[in-house]
Amino acid sequence: MNQDLDIVHLLLNASWVVKAVVVLLLAVSIASWAVIFGKAAALGRIHSKNEAFERAFWSGTSMHDLYTAAIQKTTGTGPMERIFAAGMREFLKLRERRIAETSVLLDGAQRAMRAAYQRELDVMESQLSFLGSVASVSPYIGLFGTVWGIMHAFTGLAGLESVTLATVAPGIAEALVATAIGLFAAIPAVVAYNRFSTKVDRAASHMDVFSDEFSNILQRNLSAQTPT
């Protein structure tokens, strides 16, 4: 390989603007990969905990036992379990206040579950905006470095009487490195953002369905307790 076209050699001889762009993109890429690995692990834990709680919920265990187990846990609860605990807590508080109206009891439990659902959704969606920003902005930052590098290369050639491909190529290659690194940072972020968004949407839909099913169970139990 021609040493003049070696990437390390090109970067070492690049203008300070191109160097700054490359360093910025590398830092963004490292941060993006850290978010990707962390988010993948977090969403995996959420999926497994939601499935475990749903199995327990439909296994025939009483809701009071599930609620007692949920509030006794200091760590290790999943989003679905916390939504259930929030609804059940509000339901029991209203019952303790001797409120007997079915509509009031159900409305209180549903409001508590909606609030808990929104909190869980905010947590699951955290850092997705960062990946989206990396995916959309990194190519433009790299393009800026490329444009600046080409301008710098042509400015340096202005004083030469004869210009050949050998004199032009290193400057152009140096400039294109910035675009390549911008794409290197953007492509994984795009893939991860789309994949994580799909997983969050599925988890949110699953929790929403669970909230409706839990509300229906509460309504049936209240209807069964109401004297005809």
Q: How far apart (Å, rounded) are the C-alpha atoms in residues 13 and 26?
A: 18
Average pLDDT over residues 196-224: 91
Q: How far apart (Å, rounded) are the C-alpha atoms in residues 83 and 145?
A: 48
Q: How far apart (Å, rounded) are the C-alpha atoms in residues 131 and 31?
A: 9
Average pLDDT over residues 17-34: 90
pLDDT > 90: percent of the chain: 54
Give the pTM: 0.82
Confidence of residue 86 (pLDDT cuts 50, 70, 90): very high
Confidence of residue 223 (pLDDT cuts 50, 70, 90): confident
Residue 109 is classified by DSSP as H
pLDDT of 30-80, one tens digit each? 999 999 999 999 999 999 999 999 999 999 888 889 999 988 887 778 999
Confidence of residue 13 (pLDDT cuts 50, 70, 90): low
Q: How far apart (Å, rounded) are the C-alpha atoms in residues 185 and 4?
A: 25
Distances (CA, A) of 103 to 35, 120, 124, 191: 43, 25, 31, 45
Provide the pLDDT for residue 131. 95
Contact call for residues 50 and 211 (beta carbons, < 8 A): no
Alpha helices in 97-127 (DSSP H): 102-125
pLDDT at residue 110 is higher than 90: yes
Residue 4 is classified by DSSP as G
Amino acid at 92: L
Provide the pLDDT for residue 118. 96
Contact call for residues 145 and 118 (beta carbons, < 8 A): no
What are the domain boundaries of the chain? 3-225
Dihedral angle sign, alpha carbons of residues 220, 66, 87, 47: negative
* Both structure tokens of 12: 């070492």
Average pLDDT over residues 166-185: 78
The contacts of residue 70 (CB under 8 Å, 6+ apart) are 77, 81, 82, 84, 85, 88
Provide the pLDDT for residue 117. 95
pLDDT at residue 1 is higher than 50: no
pLDDT of 120-172, one tens digit each? 999 999 999 999 999 999 999 999 888 887 777 677 666 656 656 555 666 67
Q: How far apart (Å, rounded) are the C-alpha atoms in residues 8 and 140?
A: 22
Confidence of residue 14 (pLDDT cuts 50, 70, 90): low
